[in-house]
Amino acid sequence: MHFDTIAAISTPMGEGAIAIVRLSGDEAIGIADKIFRSPSGKKLADEQSHTIHYGHLADPSTEEVVEEVMVSIMKAPKTFTREDVVEVNCHGGVVAVNRVLNLVLKEGARLAEPGEFSKRAFLNGRIDLSQAEAVMDLIRAKTDRAMNVALNQMEGKLSRLIGELRQALLETLAQVEVNIDYPEYDDVEEVTIPLMIEKGTWVKEEIEKLLRTSSQGKILREGLSTVIVGRPNVGKSSLLNSLVQENKAIVTDIAGTTRDIIEEYVNVRGVPLRLVDTAGIRETEDIVERIGVERSRQVLKEADLILLVLNSSEELTDEDTRLFEATEGMDMIVVINKTDLPQKIDMQQVTELAGRGAIVTTSILKEEGIDELEEAIAKLFFEGTLEAGDLTYVSNARHIALLHKAHKTIQDALAAAEGGVPVDMIQIDVTRTWELLGEIIGDTVQDSLINQLFSQFCLGK
């Protein structure tokens, strides 16, 4: 395959002292040679692959020296993209690194799109589709934990598991072939059906496990949508600000909010939160009154977590009660704020209204209780669900959709096998399941089932 040469700033996370401009493509080394000046006068094209060289970059039109650099050259195919790759290590400043980037663009490289290096790795066959998608997720990952999920996936964990599931299906399909080839032996069917049920059940259960992780995966990737609700003046905006200040705000590439509400991304103890202050714009309006209980319930329904803020120094009002009603059954934490003021709120009543929701008391003014609130958020999200780092999560929408389909077809196959349907009929659903799982890792070649059956089981034909 042939692609043009792409370039981008590809410095790893964080503000390092070194910045890297990476080039990939047939012209990568040629472009670098146009601007690289080594003390010995040697050309990069003549150097060994996977070596690093000290020198300066110069603008060929003026011979003006632009940067002092170290340049790594990696020749195809043993590179991340399987193309020639050049990495220019320069001083980390924004100005310096942009100057280098502009220079290589001027000399013929094209600015890479986000994830394009990974895309090439995929197109050139170095990584499978699920790994490529993981790289994309990695680029977008908003917290360390979300990044770990992406990393695991990129390392091929999901691919390996999918591979095992497909292998199990393949074994039953091979058995079916034997069955069809030797119909005169009755006992073959007696072996085939139980094997199919055994393997099929295992595959079905593993798919279910993967699907169970999918909502957590999505949340890790996109952030837990957290809505802060409460009457005017209870301290919603103060709470939002204090969560944002205490926690590293997450840089997001999602364009400015479309609705007139305030949204902030923060990382609270590994939980990425997309915080929404419902009253961000209209401080004085009662959101419930303004848009009505039904409508607000609908807005709230989209939330993964509700932070319901109450004022400790006032008695509960009908409005508070209505908010409890509107958020019934949702994951909720009740925040009783302004504990620095004399208490008027009836805690007994709050406990009853909160049901199984956690209650945290805060004085945002005095910066008290925020830790406890963060603790409660992390507990709610991670308790009993997301411990082991070696779980394989599915977070990609395409993967989830395919897993749902595969789950349906393997269920059909199992129902047929248990219902005494002829084995060659069941075969269709098993094959379909095998194909659907294959699509997750980008292996969809039509005849590959036949090839694999041949290569792995040497069916005597």
Contact positions vs ligand GDP (CB under 6 A): 230, 232-238, 279, 283, 337-338, 340-341, 363-365
Q: Residue 340 binds which one of ligand GDP, Zn ion, none, with CB within 5 to 8 A depending on kind?
A: ligand GDP
Closest of 146, 125, 111, 8 to residue 76, by C-alpha: 125
Q: Is 235 annotated as a binding residue?
A: yes
> In terms of residues, how long is the chain?
461
Report the nearest approach of ligand GDP to the CB of residue 81 (Å): 49
Cβ distance to ligand GDP smaller for residue 9 or 365: 365
Report the nearest approach of ligand GDP to the CB of residue 236 (Å): 3
Q: Residue 232 binds which one of Zn ion, ligand GDP, none, with CB within 5 to 8 A depending on kind?
A: ligand GDP
| C-beta neighbour count of 342 within 10 angstroms | 8
| C-beta neighbour count of 408 within 10 angstroms | 15
Cβ distance to ligand GDP smaller for residue 43 or 282: 282
Cβ distance to Zn ion smaller for residue 115 or 232: 232
Cβ distance to ligand GDP smaller for residue 35 or 276: 276
Q: Is 87 annotated as a binding residue?
A: yes
| C-beta neighbour count of 392 within 10 angstroms | 18
Question: Contact with Zn ion (CB under 5 A): which of 38, 152, 237, 313?
Answer: 237
Binding residues among 252-281 for Zn ion as defined by CB under 5 A? 279
Rounded-to-integer distance, Cα 270 and Cα 380, Å: 12
Query: Is 236 near Zn ion (CB under 5 A)?
Result: yes
Please give the C-alpha separations between residue 31 and each of 23, 44, 51, 80, 323, in angstroms, as whole numbers.
Answer: 9, 10, 17, 19, 62
Rounded-to-integer distance, Cα 149 and Cα 272, Å: 13
- Positive or negative CA dihedral for 67, 73, 76, 78? negative
Rounded-to-integer distance, Cα 310 and Cα 45, Å: 68
- Positive or negative CA dihedral for 376, 380, 383, 386? negative
Question: Is the backbone of residue 264 left (phi > 0), alpha (psi -120 to 50) or beta?
Answer: beta
Rounded-to-integer distance, Cα 65 and Cα 99, Å: 11
Rounded-to-integer distance, Cα 90 and Cα 55, Å: 11
Report the nearest approach of Zn ion to the CB of residue 290 (Å): 14
Cβ distance to ligand GDP smaller for residue 49 or 233: 233
Closest of 455, 414, 420, 421 to residue 172, by C-alpha: 414
Report the nearest approach of ligand GDP to the CB of residue 318 (Å): 17
Cβ distance to Zn ion smaller for residue 232 or 442: 232
Rounded-to-integer distance, Cα 135 and Cα 267, Å: 21
Report the nearest approach of ligand GDP to the CB of residue 289 (Å): 14
Cβ distance to ligand GDP smaller for residue 363 or 411: 363
Binding residues among 278-297 for Zn ion as defined by CB under 5 A? 279
Q: Residue 10 binds which one of Zn ion, ligand GDP, none, with CB within 5 to 8 A depending on kind?
A: none
Q: Is 252 annotated as a binding residue?
A: yes
Mapped onto helix, strand or coil, the DSSP state of residue 265 is: strand
Binding residues among 94-113 for Zn ion as defined by CB under 5 A? none
Q: CB–CB of 135/149 below 8 Å?
A: no
Report the nearest approach of ligand GDP to the CB of residue 125 (Å): 54
Report the nearest approach of ligand GDP to the CB of residue 101 (Å): 43
Query: Is 215 near Zn ion (CB under 5 A)?
Result: no
Q: Is 209 annotated as a binding residue?
A: no
Cβ distance to ligand GDP smaller for residue 164 or 340: 340
Q: Is 126 annotated as a binding residue?
A: yes
Query: Is 338 near Zn ion (CB under 5 A)?
Result: no
Q: Is 309 annotated as a binding residue?
A: no
278 Cβ neighbours under 8 A, 6+ residues apart: 227, 228, 229, 236, 261, 287, 299
* Binding annotation: 22, 87, 126, 233-238, 252-258, 277-280, 461
Q: Which residues contact Zn ion (rule: CB under 5 A)?
A: 236-237, 279
* Binding annotation for (6S)-5-formyl-5,6,7,8-tetrahydrofolate: 22, 87, 126, 461
* Binding annotation for Mg(2+): 237, 258
* Binding annotation for K(+): 233, 252, 254, 257
